Structure 1
Amino acid sequence: MINPLRGMKDLTFEESERFEHIINTASTIAKRYGYGYIETPILEETALFKRSVGESSDIVGKEMYQFIDKGENDVCMRPEGTAGVVRAFISAKLDRQPVKQKFYYYGPMFRYEKPQKGRLREFHQFGCESFGEGSVYEDFTIITMIAQIFNALGIGYELQINSLGCKICMPKYKETLVSSLTEIKEELCEDCNRRIGTNPIRVLDCKNDTCQTLLVESPKLKNYLCEECDPDFKKLKELLDQEGIKYTVNDNLVRGLDYYSKTAFEFVSSEIGAQSAIAGGGRYDRLVEFLDGKPTPAVGFALGIERIMELVKMPEKEAEGYYMGAMTPEAIPSLLKLATKKRLTDKVTVEYSSKGFKSHMKGVDRSNAQYAVLIGEDELKNGTLWIKDLETKEERVIAINEL
């Protein structure tokens, strides 16, 4: 027997229903905020992620499914969604248009990590990317949208926010941070020592408990924010307070990707074990420019579908559609013709074997249909059918063309 690869799994039965419910709920809310659907390839040039996510990141350094294809191209399966959407935005020359653009997407991502609860090697994300709006009001709006999605799904959450500064205030902070980290480098882990020389901000994101203890007294970026970033961060907090969205300022929240600047945020849950982040994102005003596009402000997020599936409160299933069955073999052709027409407007389940009344009613229960429709010898001879509304318990015999 051939099984799924380690860290990859099938979505079937109740899980697939939950998956669809999450996608449909998130898509509906995203559309209300003006987002349109975009689809990008699963396979991209490796250079796309090296330039956007950053070569110093764990994703590029350790986790990508990267290989040389038959055309000698260096390619990889996408480890995250934002870079591909930005690449598509530039490829379509949308960065040259004055119109603000908003896209939502969903689909599989791939990272070669150690599988555990909430972390798979093939996982799915739903995300949104907003291009052309540099106002902190857009940061607030996108956080509000995520909160609405989780509220609609019945998921509790905690919001953490931070500001990562910009090209004006970040250099001075990095210089101070490197000086501070150098003093304790002998006590930091191997990854942190490597990051001091490549991307020192990522040290703050280390998951090693010893490192986190050592970083308690490290310089805080919020004390180095420039005249633009500081008012923006204060305004974001003010807007969240006014909306009644509770949050915590997490000075060590830097996200796992190199392209973020200014606002960064994560939605976390204590109900899913070690992998507590269920959604995250922020502003990436320079990424379009990094990928050879025209400078364009942008902000976005992604939520992990597998991470929230167990937390989703599914709506109670309502009976819907029709169950159609024949009580004589000769009635089956008429039943199929009727079902084909009715499927233009309704859900229809057809039982192809002729059965007795009690057997058909058991089938009705299994199908969760609202109406039971049966054709027996008398109905076939008279051009009628027997129908029962399972909610009102009303039974009738009507002409076939009346249905």
Structure 2
Amino acid sequence: MINALRGMKDLMFDDAERYTYIVETASRIARNYGFDFIETPILEETRLFKRSVGESSDIVGKEMYQFTDKGGNDVCLRPEGTAGVVRAYIQAKLDRQQGRKDRFFYYGPMFRYERPQKGRLRQFHQFGVESFGTAEVEEDFTLIMMLSEIFDALGIGYKVKINSLGCSACMPPYRNTLVGFLEGIAEELCPDCQRRITTNPIRVLDCKNENCQNLLESAPKLSESLCEKCDRDFKRLQKLLDTSGIDYEVDTHLVRGLDYYSGTAFEFVSDEIGAQSAIAGGGRYDRLVEFLEGKPTPGIGFAIGIERIMELVKMPEEERSGWYLGAMDAESLDAILSLGQKLRRKGEKAVVEYAPKGLKAHLKGADRAGAKYCAVIGENERKDGTVWVKDLASKEEKTVLLESL
């Protein structure tokens, strides 16, 4: 027997229903905020992610599904969604149209070769949004509001963490100060943090090692080193969140795992899947379009890990819908097939049972299918040009002319 690869999971039945419900709910809310759907390829040039995510990141260094294709091209399966959307934005020359504002949402599979565990797979799914051309911090607030509305609609409890990663003016001096502090405690840090001191020192702040977190309690805080503009924007964001009533906290150790982030960073966490586990995150990346050879363009976005939240979703109570159609004898099957086509053309859901059965068996089949109506044709109905129909919700039953149906 051939099984699915390790860390890759089939979506069927309840899982498929939950996935569809999450995507449809998030898509509806994104459209309400003025976002349009975008679909980008699953396969991209490897250099897209090396330049955007950063060669020092764990994603590029350890986790990408990278290979050389038959044309000799260095390609990989996308490990995240933002870089592909930015590539599409630049390729369509949208960055060259001054004053333009574009907002996109997407969903689909991503791939990272990491140790599979609950809520973390090698093929996983994300829902994400990206906004281009708006530098105002009010857009940061709007995206946090959109994400909170999505989780409210899905019935998921959460808490918001925010931080500011500064800009190209205030980040370099802070980085130097942080490196000086980290070098003083380097021998006590875990091996990953020791390596990151030279490759990506900001990521040390995000280490989950308990010993490292204790050592970092006295680390210099970026929030105390922000330039005037970044400080003003961060305070404005907090004021907007205070007014909205969203429960949030400033987490000075919150950083994003990818190199392209600057300015606002935010994360949604839930204690329903473990101690303050992240279920979504995002932030501002005003330099990424320029990194990928586009015109300087402000950008901000977020992504939800769908597998991370599937078990938390409060699904609406399932209602019966559509039709179950059955024949009581072989001669009535053609009439049932014709009725099914007519119903579908009218936009109705119709499931046809091909095997002739008795009424009781058809009613059981309709119940299993979750149908609202069970329609059956037998010898008498065929002769009279009628169909027997039962409403499985109200239990009302009657015989009606086929033409009237």
TM-score of the aligned structures, taking structure 1 as reference length: 0.98
**Structure 2 counterpart of 1:219:** 220
Matches within 5 A, 1:389-400: 389-400=391-402
**Distance across 2 between alignment mates of 1:141 and 1:172:** 30
**Distance across 1 between alignment mates of 2:334 and 2:90:** 55
Let me know the Cα RMSD of the aligned residues. 1.0
**Distance across 1 between alignment mates of 2:195 and 2:359:** 73
Q: Percent identity?
A: 68
**Distance across 1 between alignment mates of 2:276 and 2:231:** 30
**Distance across 1 between alignment mates of 2:329 and 2:76:** 57
Structure 1: segments with no counterpart, 5+ residues = none
Alignment length (residue pairs): 403
**Structure 2 counterpart of 1:269:** 270
Deviation by residue 1:89-126 (Cα, 9 ceiling, x = unmatched): 00000101232000000011111111111111110000
**Distance across 1 between alignment mates of 2:397 and 2:67:** 64
Matches within 5 A, 1:135-284: 135-273=136-274, 276-284=277-285
Letter in 1 for 2:74: D
**Structure 2 counterpart of 1:386:** 388
Provide the secondary structure at the position in 2 that maps to 1:128. strand
**Distance across 1 between alignment mates of 2:119 and 2:390:** 45
**Structure 1 counterpart of 2:350:** 348
Matches within 5 A, 1:22-33: 22-33=22-33
Letter in 2 for 1:310: E
**Structure 1 counterpart of 2:374:** 372
**Distance across 2 between alignment mates of 1:55 and 1:390:** 59
Moved more, 186-195 or 277-286: 186-195
Question: Once the 2 structures are TM-superposed, how far is the Cα of residue 392 of structure 1 from its aligned partner?
Answer: 2.5
**Structure 2 counterpart of 1:336:** 337
**Distance across 2 between alignment mates of 1:171 and 1:211:** 23
Deviation by residue 1:193-246 (Cα, 9 ceiling, x = unmatched): 221112211111112111111110000000001110001001111101100001
Provide the secondary structure at the position in 2 that maps to 1:127. strand
Provide the secondary structure at the position in 1 that maps to 2:280. strand
**Structure 2 counterpart of 1:309:** 310
**Structure 2 counterpart of 1:101:** 102
**Distance across 2 between alignment mates of 1:65 and 1:273:** 28
Question: Once the 2 structures are TM-superposed, how far is the Cα of residue 275 of structure 1 from its aligned partner?
Answer: 8.3
Q: Contact 1:163–1:263 at 8 Å: present in 2 too?
A: yes
Question: Once the 2 structures are TM-superposed, how far is the Cα of residue 267 of structure 1 from its aligned partner?
Answer: 0.4
Deviation by residue 1:60-85 (Cα, 9 ceiling, x = unmatched): 11111111111111111110000000
**Distance across 1 between alignment mates of 2:293 and 2:316:** 45
**Structure 2 counterpart of 1:57:** 57
**Distance across 2 between alignment mates of 1:396 and 1:117:** 50
Provide the secondary structure at the position in 2 that maps to 1:401. coil
Letter in 2 for 1:350: V
**Structure 1 counterpart of 2:403:** 401
Q: Contact 1:79–1:109 at 8 Å: present in 2 too?
A: yes
Structure 2: segments with no counterpart, 5+ residues = none
**Distance across 2 between alignment mates of 1:92 and 1:247:** 37
Q: Contact 1:136–1:232 at 8 Å: present in 2 too?
A: yes
Matches within 5 A, 1:279-298: 279-298=280-299
Question: Once the 2 structures are TM-superposed, how far is the Cα of residue 393 of structure 1 from its aligned partner?
Answer: 2.4
Deviation by residue 1:101-160 (Cα, 9 ceiling, x = unmatched): 000000111111111111111100000000000000000000000000000000011111
Provide the secondary structure at the position in 1 that maps to 2:309. helix
**Structure 2 counterpart of 1:85:** 85
**Structure 1 counterpart of 2:35:** 35
